[in-house]
Amino acid sequence: MQTATQIPHDVNYLDYKGKYKGIFGWIFSTDHKRIALLYMYSMMVMFVVGVALGLAMKLELIAPGQTIMGPQTYNSVFTVHGVIMIFMIVIPGLPAVFGNFMLPIMIGAKDVAFPKVNLLSWYFYVAGALLVIASVLFGNGTPDTGWTFYAPYSFKSGTNLLPAIFGAFILGFSSILTGLNFIVTIHRMRAPGMTWFKMPLFPWSLYGTAWIQLLATPVVGITLVLVALERIFGIGVFDPALGGDPVLYQHLFWIYSHPAVYVMILPAMGAISEIIPTFSQKHIFGYRAIIASTLAIAFVGYFVWGHHMFTSGMSGTAQYTFSVLTFLVAIPSAIKVFNWISTMHKGSINPEIPFLWAVSFIFVFMIGGFSGLVLGALATNVYVHDTAFVVAHFHFIVFGGVGFSFFGAIHYWFPKMFGRMYDKVWAKVGWAFFTVGFLTLYSPMFYLGMIGMPRRYYDYLPEFHAANILSSLGSWVMTFGLLIVVINLFRSAKNGAIAEINPWHGKTLEWTVASPPPVENFEEIPVYGEKDGPYEY
């Protein structure tokens, strides 16, 4: 089909005029780079909604008692905030945007293996997002179960849950298709001579991620279907009144949703593994150790789901086992941190903005990781279970980990994606506000959890007031920083200074093609020889 029209190599993907005009040239495009940007823009819309809901919660918690919303509204707000942020931002985040954009270029391919399936996965993403929005706008009441849809409340609640559940199911399907596409692409389309251990670390992390997406998502898919059928027909599998077991729901849910945490964090780590050596102007330390730890995290991540359920009713043996396995995840994570620090050691560090995001990633990831050990240990978990401590922990990992890495990655690859450079001064100002705000927002919640403030309440006792004020102030500072970052990037995509092909002296293939890349990436597919390596092409 495409063989009839020769695609010129001097036209970049942004200016290319294909079969369709205007917006249709984007939403019907099977170009992995355009699909990446489609994902990015649709995620940005949802992200704005998610942030606004988060701000509203922090405003509600600025004083005890009812401030701006009642308990039912608060329940809906944290539910929709969670569903949007988890299923639409952090799970697809790095793979769908930077994976789609960079994976084919970094392995020397013209596109992913199944470009049409790739576009289909974006359609599923949009369909899922629209269903979730529909559950908010229509029906009697916004979902109020929390993003986990725990049984039995998820089929007892009178709110409009069905569209949200189907939305999450379809978003999962989108994620499966992306993962499938990446695995086949990596297996089949690496440049000639690029063996597995000549592949850069970001594609490696996407490979580990893709397997998790593929093997874990179907389980949550069927679980959500069962909850939906329970709501519609009353089949009984999770309903204690009909003989079912609601704890079984939690098991099935976390069998997916814990590995999903690694879907979020592995590509984030992969991006950091690209940024740190580039700006340390040094080789990555322990290339193979990073790959091994990536695969180890992907593997062990399947066997730790029980640590979400220490208070849900499990045998003591199961609790100890899950606790020990949870500690095991800390080892490969620590290996990665060790490798990043060793890469910086005696490097010639060029503290550009992507590097700043990367080191602040390591900082917040360490805090998130250590608080994860507190939660993985049985005794302390029971003490802080379902408190603000847990909320602080997973925001440090999920928002700190994925968010900082995402912003690091966008500042790193922005000149390649748009062919223009952003304003570096404003980028640094935005980063500073964001980081200070982030720490002010979430650090007090560790303390609040330790002294006993439960999560998911719109109200609290007066002794929690001071720390909550600090946290709410932090949310404003962070959002201010976020605004600076986003506005700066938006303005620069149009009006920034023209960027060089390789502004950071990166060593991977994407820095050898023009900025922005031509439609089919390479005029001639690179060939790796004996002496070439992942970072010596």
Binding-site ranges for other proteins (CB under 8 A): 1-3, 113-114, 117, 176, 180-181, 183-184, 187-192, 194, 214-215, 217-219, 221-223, 225-226, 229, 233-237, 242-245, 248, 252, 525
The backbone torsions φ and ψ at residue 467, rounded to the nearest 5 degrees and listed phi first, read -65, -35
Beta strands in 423-526 (DSSP E): 497-498
- Report the residue number, 158 or 462, with the smaller CB distance to other proteins: 158
Q: CA 89 to CA 93: how far, in whole Å?
A: 5
Q: CA 431 to CA 402: how far, in whole Å?
A: 15
Q: CA 293 to CA 274: how far, in whole Å?
A: 15
- Cβ count near 78 (within 10 Å): 22
Beta strands in 156-251 (DSSP E): none
Number of separate helices (H) and strands (E) present in the chain = 18, 2
CA 127 from centre of chain: 19
In DSSP terms, 387 is beta-bridged to 454
- Report the residue number, 3 or 348, with the smaller CB distance to other proteins: 3
Nearest distance, CB of residue 23 and other proteins, angstroms: 25
Nearest distance, CB of residue 155 and other proteins, angstroms: 11
- Report the residue number, 77 or 220, with the smaller CB distance to other proteins: 220
CA 191 from centre of chain: 28
Nearest distance, CB of residue 22 and other proteins, angstroms: 26
- Report the residue number, 11 or 229, with the smaller CB distance to other proteins: 229
Nearest distance, CB of residue 183 and other proteins, angstroms: 6
- Report the residue number, 1 or 137, with the smaller CB distance to other proteins: 1
- The most distant pair of C-alpha atoms in the chain lies apart, rounded to whole Å, by 72
- Report the residue number, 94 or 176, with the smaller CB distance to other proteins: 176
- Report the residue number, 52 or 232, with the smaller CB distance to other proteins: 232
Nearest distance, CB of residue 520 and other proteins, angstroms: 11
- Report the residue number, 176 or 509, with the smaller CB distance to other proteins: 176
Is 84 within 8 Å of 48 (Cβ atoms)? no
CA 74 from centre of chain: 24
- Report the residue number, 252 or 325, with the smaller CB distance to other proteins: 252
Nearest distance, CB of residue 390 and other proteins, angstroms: 26
- Report the residue number, 194 or 467, with the smaller CB distance to other proteins: 194
Nearest distance, CB of residue 414 and other proteins, angstroms: 30
Nearest distance, CB of residue 522 and other proteins, angstroms: 13
- Report the residue number, 155 or 438, with the smaller CB distance to other proteins: 155
The backbone torsions φ and ψ at residue 64, rounded to the nearest 5 degrees and listed phi first, read -65, 160
Is 75 within 8 Å of 478 (Cβ atoms)? no
Nearest distance, CB of residue 149 and other proteins, angstroms: 15
Nearest distance, CB of residue 500 and other proteins, angstroms: 31
- Report the residue number, 180 or 366, with the smaller CB distance to other proteins: 180
Token match 């507190």: residue? 374
Please return the burial class of 495, using the count of CB atoms within 10 Å of its CB with bins 0-12, 13-18 and 19+.
exposed
Q: CA 409 to CA 188: how far, in whole Å?
A: 26
Q: CA 268 to CA 42: how far, in whole Å?
A: 20
Paired tokens of 439: 């720490």
For every residue of 450-475, which 3-state class applies, written as one string?
A: HCCCECCCCCCCHHHHHHHHHHHHHH
Nearest distance, CB of residue 193 and other proteins, angstroms: 9
- Report the residue number, 322 or 442, with the smaller CB distance to other proteins: 322
- Cβ count near 438 (within 10 Å): 24
| HSE toward the beta carbon, residue 70, CA cutoff 13 A | 1
Nearest distance, CB of residue 152 and other proteins, angstroms: 14
Look at phi and psi of residue 386 and say left if phi exceeds 0, alpha if psi is from -120 to 50, else beta: left
Q: CA 227 to CA 234: how far, in whole Å?
A: 9
Nearest distance, CB of residue 517 and other proteins, angstroms: 19
DSSP annotation string for 403-439: IHHHHHHHHHHHHHHHSEE--HHHHHHHHHHHHHHHH
